[in-house]
């Protein structure tokens, strides 16, 4: 069956690679991008469709959902990939807990947490029309509470009151959606792409975006009745 798949933030980075790999598997990809121009460009290169979608703007998300309904009548896979590590023009020092700029933290949560709720709830009616609905939330193993609470492991992780807890909250949110939607057959899982070289981290990551896409692609292609409420990377379960 032809799978209809929306990837948010798919104009570049890991989202674009998720879109490319799922397109190669035969999915009909809808590139979600907040810039119409960048979304259309990526879609043309990927042989995909596109919608304008800013996850922090409920009106734009509603218009995107309407467009997908008009074009396809349903959605099989939603990949909540769009995310930011810091608002444009801010420094990561603004996220140190003891000196945090609360506006910076709010802006990060607006995209990485509340944006996922906005997009998911707008698309759920279309996902419920699928024979095998799947939601994949792109979280981060660097936001694992277990890793951050372990002094030896945490040595390698940034201290952050912004990006890190926004992703911890996203993982927690994933579980809550999985719990609520389990009875309806909607599979909801969180994935960690690993540390990938993208604009998000000024290309400091040691993995490629293509490698980072693997876990999301895997969870986007699980069959009906497959796992839900899990948090995995491409090697298996990630500690909570």
Site residues for ligand NAP per CB under 6 A: 8-9, 11-15, 34-35, 38, 53-56, 81-84, 111, 115, 138, 140, 192-193, 195-196, 198-201, 205
Secondary structure class of 98 (helix, strand, coil): helix
Distance of closest approach, residue 29 Cβ to ligand NAP, in angstroms: 14
Tokens (6 digits) for 158: 């940034």
Q: What is the DSSP letter of 3?
A: P
Shortest Cβ 94–ligand NAP spacing (Å) = 17
Structure tokens at 152: 């030896």
| Ordered alpha helix ranges (H), the chain | 13-24, 36-46, 58-72, 102-109, 115-127, 145-149, 151-154, 163-181, 209-220
Measure the N-to-C terminal CA separation of the chain; round to a whole number of Å: 34
Toward ligand NAP, which CB reaches closer, 15 or 165?
Answer: 15
Active site residue 163: yes
- Of 12, 163, 195, 206, the catalytic one is 163
Residue 14 or 122 with smaller CB distance to ligand NAP: 14
Cβ distance to ligand NAP smaller for residue 93 or 201: 201
Backbone angles phi, psi at 49, to 5 degrees: -100, 170
Nearest to ligand NAP of 57, 101 (CB atom): 57
Work out how close the CB of 115 gets to ligand NAP at its nearest, in angstroms, rounded to a whole number.
6
Within 8 A by CB and 6+ apart from 48, the residues are 10, 19, 23, 28, 29, 30, 31, 42
Which of the residues 41, 167, 195, 206 is marked catalytic?
A: 167
Is 167 labeled as catalytic in the residue annotation? yes
The answer to whether 95 touches 157, Cβ cutoff 8 Å, is: no
Residue 204 CB, nearest distance to ligand NAP (Å)? 8
Six-digit token string for 138: 């792109």
The set of catalytic residues is: 163, 167
């Amino acid at each position: 069956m032809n799978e209809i798949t929306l990837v948010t933030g798919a104009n570049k980075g890991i989202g674009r690679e998720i879109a490319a790999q799922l397109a190669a598997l035969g999915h009909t990809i809808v590139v979600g991008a907040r810039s119409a121009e960048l979304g259309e460009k990526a879609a043309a290169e990927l042989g995909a469709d596109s919608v304008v979608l800013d996850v922090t703007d409920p009106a734009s998300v509603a218009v995107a959902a309407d467009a997908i309904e008009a074009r396809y009548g349903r959605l099989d896979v939603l990949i909540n990939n769009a995310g930011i590590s810091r608002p444009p023009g801010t420094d990561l020092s603004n996220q140190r807990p003891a000196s945090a700029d609360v506006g910076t933290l709010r802006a990060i949560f607006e995209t990485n947490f509340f944006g996922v709720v906005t997009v998911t709830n707008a698309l759920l009616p279309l996902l419920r029309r699928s024979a095998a609905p799947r939601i994949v939330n792109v979280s981060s193993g660097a936001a694992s509470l277990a890793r951050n609470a372990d002094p030896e492991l945490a040595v390698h992780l940034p201290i952050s009151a912004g990006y890190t807890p926004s992703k911890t909250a996203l993982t927690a949110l994933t579980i809550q959606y999985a719990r609520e939607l389990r009875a309806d057959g909607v599979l909801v899982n969180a994935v960690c792409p690993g540390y990938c070289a993208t604009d998000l981290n000024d290309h400091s990551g040691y993995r490629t975006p293509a490698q980072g896409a693997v876990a999301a692609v895997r969870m986007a292609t699980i069959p009906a009745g497959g796992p839900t409420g899990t948090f995995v990377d491409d090697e298996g379960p990630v500690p909570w």
